[in-house]
Amino acid sequence: MKVKYFDTIIINFCVICIFVFYYFTQPIITYKNCPLCDGNDYLVMYDYFKNNTTQFLPDFPFHNRLFVPFLASLIPSKSPIFSFQIINFIFIILSVNSIYFFWKYLKINTLLSIIGLFWLCFHWTGIIRLNQMDCLTVDVPSYFFHILLIYFVIEKKYFPLLLITPFATLQKESFLALLIIVLIFNFLYAYKIDKKINYNYILLAFLISLIVKMVANQYFPPQNSLGKNPIVTLFFHLFEAFDNPMLIIRWLISIFMGFGCFILLAFQNTSFQKNNQNHYS
């Protein structure tokens, strides 16, 4: 008798085993000895939501990443490390499953999907090991929210997109940037192959994300906001890259270190056409 979703069961079992393996073998950063680690700001936010302190003093740009520290504060534990690990574990499971189902939706070969998930889970900067070493992080849900964003846009499921937008924005402000990219892409390219894309909903999602970002910034301001905003940060990194071109080489090497030869697939001569099964290839 064939077990339904047997591959999913096996994948989840393997992910849990990998998580447990790194849980017991991967040392965790000593945050007291790492004052520049992002986790120190997330710990401040966790303590605020846990009512351990009345001061909200994280630095820019961490101050608006409220989603994960708030969820961690709801875990009935006095250990912030353990609380963040629980939230990370939940979103690791959600992320791996969403990635796998999305790859199946795109009709990617099952063997290639398993190889990709293996790489994602075991790589030292992957979803499990890196976030076990630096477990006071808000990055893990990004995999989940970004996959949902792509899927909802392709399938034109705009209402669910509007529902996740506030949470994804409070998880990390990069979701707002992704919505801008989606808007630009739809305006410049997607309309050529699909006249039925509803720009109003995508624009509405962008406006919701922007409003959530502004409200969060109003009620949870950073302690070092003077002269700092996302535009300044963007131009700072652009200037840094032009000032030191070797950084670009280092970034390219990092991409290959992180993704191996998979990144070469992006340079194939592929077409973006809609087939009868409502899939994009």
Q: What is the pLDDT of residues 218-242, one digit of tens each?
A: 888 877 655 455 556 666 666 777 7
In a domain, 1, yes or no: no
Of 183, 199, 228, which residue is a domain's last?
A: 228
In a domain, 89, yes or no: yes
Under 8 Å between Cβ of 127 and 141: no
Q: Are residues 140 and 163 in the same domain?
A: yes
Q: Are residues 72 and 198 in the same domain?
A: yes
- What end-to-end distance do the CA atoms of the chain give, in Å? 33
pLDDT at residue 202, rounded to an integer: 84
Distance of CA 245 to the CA centre of its chain: 27
In a domain, 244, yes or no: yes
**Could you give the CA distance from residue 122 to residue 144 in angstroms, rounded to a whole number?**
18
Closest CA to 81 of 146, 125, 37: 37
Q: Which domain holds residue 240?
A: 231-281
Q: Are residues 30 and 95 in the same domain?
A: yes
Confidence of residue 174 (pLDDT cuts 50, 70, 90): confident
Number of structural domains in the chain = 2
**Could you give the CA distance from residue 49 to residue 56 in angstroms, rounded to a whole number?**
9
pLDDT at residue 122, rounded to an integer: 84
Predicted structure pTM score: 0.80
Closest CA to 180 of 221, 248, 230: 230
Tens digit of pLDDT for each residue in 85-116?
999 999 999 999 999 999 888 888 888 888 88
Q: Are residues 179 and 139 in the same domain?
A: yes
In a domain, 85, yes or no: yes
Record the tokens describing residue 213, joined without a space. 């970002």
Residue 44: pLDDT over 50: yes
Percent of the chain whose predicted confidence (pLDDT) is above 90: 26
Q: Are residues 143 and 253 in the same domain?
A: no
Q: What's the farthest any 2 CA atoms get from each other in the chain?
A: 65
Q: What is the DSSP string of 26-82?
A: SPPP-GGG-TT-THHHHHHHHHHHTTS-S---PPTTGGG--HHHHHHHTSS-S-HHH
Q: Are residues 223 and 245 in the same domain?
A: no
Percent of the chain whose predicted confidence (pLDDT) is above 70: 79
**Could you give the CA distance from residue 271 to residue 281 in angstroms, rounded to a whole number?**
7
Average pLDDT, the chain: 80
Count of CA atoms in the C-beta half-sphere (13 A) of 169 = 23
How distant, in Å, are the alpha carbons of 68, 164, 268 from that of 170? 8, 10, 35
State the average pLDDT over residues 1-8: 66
